[in-house]
Amino acid sequence: MSATHDGVTYFSGAVNPAGGVDTAGALVVFDTSSAAPDITVAQRHIIVRAPVTDGGRRVLELIVLANHGRQTRVVSGTVEAVWRGRLPPGAEEFEVGESDVSAQAVARRGDTVLVSAPIPPGQKQILYTYLLPAGVDELRVPIDQPMARFNVLLEDTAAVLTSGSVEPRGIQVFDDAQFAMYDAAALPAGPSVTFEFGRTPFRLVQYWGALVALAAVAMTVALMRWARRRPAVVVVSDDPNALARAIAQLDARHEAHRDVSAAAAQAYAEERGRLKARLEAALAARQAPR
């Protein structure tokens, strides 16, 4: 079920008839504004993979935008974005992943991400990836606006925090890989959070033949495992932050293995839908009046 109000189309959840009776609930629509309310960052999750053979590092970001007002925030002739945020310096190959808004409504301009989609009261997830190319020896995340929750996972566990108000949370294991975890709550706008990547203790070129052979074997095994089983993201807690991180981790693995079977792609979609439904239920429970 859908309805259009003030130029914005709203959709309800799935309608499940029971005994021929429509069981859909009320569909809430909102007035629009291009000036208010402000769109804030409820969560920002960053996953940085280990460098590949050419030295580049893939990065995935999940941004959860929040509208705490009573109007849908929209663009206008003089307002080109409802939200904007800065990327780390040196980011290349920017791509928008599966998000709660159209990919066409998320763009990059210089070092800035711009979202032009309408943002109604509530939350919207924006997912994108980029590459830190070889030669970029640090991750410098601009903190250009307050963030209710900020989280960084680094597969390079030798990376060192050199600036920023985040706390180390030890080593976490996801999909048989170790990640150094850092986070912060109620992080105010201020200096960048910066990590210096660890130094490779030997030159890869000296071991090129062995690395190619090992990589081929590892990729074959990984693809076989991916095709035979559902994505293994175990989240016992219904904490929204844990569920959001699980979705980001699942998307990162799927992004790293695009050339998989149809069965694996379907398993990924089903698992993501299950996690997203749990996240929506957890957020709804948190926002429900007590």
- Taking only the tens place, the pLDDT of each residue in 146-167 is 999 999 999 999 999 999 999 9
**Residues in CB range of 142: below 8 A, 6 or more apart:** 86, 87, 88, 111, 192
129-133, 240-244, 274-278 — which is least confidently predicted?
Answer: 240-244
- Taking only the tens place, the pLDDT of each residue in 48-97 is 999 988 889 999 999 999 999 999 999 887 778 999 999 999 999 999 99
Percent of the chain with pLDDT over 70: 73
30-201 topology per CATH: Immunoglobulin-like (2.60.40)
Helix, strand, coil share of the chain (percent; to 5): 25, 35, 40
- In the 8-state DSSP scheme, what is residue 199? P
- For residue 156, the number of C-alpha atoms closer than 13 Å in the C-beta half-sphere is 23
pLDDT (mean) for 89-106? 95
State phi, psi for 69 to the nearest 5 degrees.
Answer: -95, -160
**Alpha-carbon torsion (80, 81, 86, 89), positive or negative:** negative
> What is the pLDDT at residue 201?
45
> Of residues 1 and 197, which shows the higher confidence score?
197
List, in sequence order, every beta strand (DSSP E) within 51-137.
Answer: 57-67, 72-73, 83-86, 92-96, 106-109, 112-115, 122-132
- Taking only the tens place, the pLDDT of each residue in 24-45 is 555 555 577 877 789 999 999 9
Domain ranges of the chain: 30-201, 203-290
pTM: 0.63
Asked if pLDDT for residue 281 goes beyond 90, the answer is: no
Closest Cα partner for 247 from 59, 45, 41? 45
Distance CA 233, CA 19 (A): 37
| Pair of tokens at residue 128 | 């994108």
> What is the pLDDT at residue 246?
82
> Of residues 278 and 102, which shows the higher confidence score?
102
